[in-house]
Amino acid sequence: MDLELKGQAVLVTGAGSGIGQAIALAFAAEGAAVAVNDLTRERCQETLELLRPTGVPAMAAPFDVTRLDDVRASIGEVHDRFGRLDVLVNNAAIMVNNTPFVESRPEDCEREIAVGLFGAMHCTRSVLQGMIGRTHGRIVNIVSDAARVGQEKEVAYSSAKGGLISFTKSLAREVGRHGVTVNAVSPAATDTPLRREMLGRLEAKLGAEAVAAREEKVRRVYPVRRIGQPNDVADLVTFLASTRARHITGQICSVNGGFAMPG
């Protein structure tokens, strides 16, 4: 299926690895120009190297999504390079600790919410006027089924993603008349560096055998009996950014192997 994304200009936040990296590569495979965001230029570099063989225009856009002035300045550079910005994918997020809320530090919770929610709002604020002016734009927010059904030991992370779900729906109602769609893609457990880091901490605490048993229990929760891969998410993101999805907005689309089936 031709998604008609060739020549489109795309910014993916948190694209230095994991789901964000997979999304950047998926857009490049469709012929889109890609701006790769992460905290530093060094973090962007691996993804840029992977994009190089595709031949599409690509650039690093290093900035901290929680700093609005930096976001605006860097997105201005993306506009200067590509001439416009057609698609924004708000993927940047962090999980500082996988601990019960009562044991969490307020500053860690604030950071998780600042990156996952306010970061997406800052990036959207910085691109939206241009999209409205061109009467065309696609915003895709990466949320989480942890927010849709709840997840212990991920209270602040889930809260950030829950806020992003509400942001998605409310903004979609505001900007649809201007040719801009806003949707969210909601993964469950996905094999990313973030998740592998969390499993590493658990292994140090509980041991390899206990973690292996835990992972087997997790797989059994999924009707498809597998942990998601970043490409599973990227495939849906590119579709939602395409003209094929022009009549889809304000939707929260789970990519979760049947883990949860919210109505």
Over residues 158-203, the pLDDT tens digits come to 999 999 999 999 999 999 999 999 999 999 888 888 777 878 888 8
Give me the domain span that covers residue 200.
192-227
**Which residues form the catalytic set?**
157
pLDDT in the model for residue 263: 66
Same domain, 94 and 182: yes
Query: Residue 15 sits in a domain of what CATH number?
Result: 3.40.50.720
pLDDT in the model for residue 226: 81
Q: Nearest to residue 10, comparing CAs of 2, 23, 134, 42?
A: 23
Q: Which amino acid is at 23?
A: I
CA distance 207 to 79: 49
Instruction: Please state the rounded mean pLDDT for residues 90-100.
Output: 91
Same domain, 219 and 105: no
Burial of 249 (0-12, 13-18, 19+ CB in 10 A): buried
Q: Is the predicted pLDDT of residue 262 greater than 90, yes or no?
A: no
User: Considering its fold, how many domains does the chain have in total?
Assistant: 2
Q: Is the predicted pLDDT of residue 9 greater than 70, yes or no?
A: yes
Same domain, 124 and 162: yes
DSSP label at residue 85: -
Is there a domain that residue 181 lies in? yes
Same domain, 84 and 162: yes
Instruction: Please state the rounded mean pLDDT for residues 109-127.
Output: 98
Same domain, 124 and 221: no
Strand order in the sheet with 58-60: 58-60, 33-36, 9-12, 87-90, 137-142, 180-187, 252-255
Is there a domain that residue 135 lies in? yes
CA distance 197 to 35: 26
CA distance 98 to 102: 12
Same domain, 180 and 86: yes
User: HSE on the CB side for 244, CA within 13 Å?
Assistant: 11
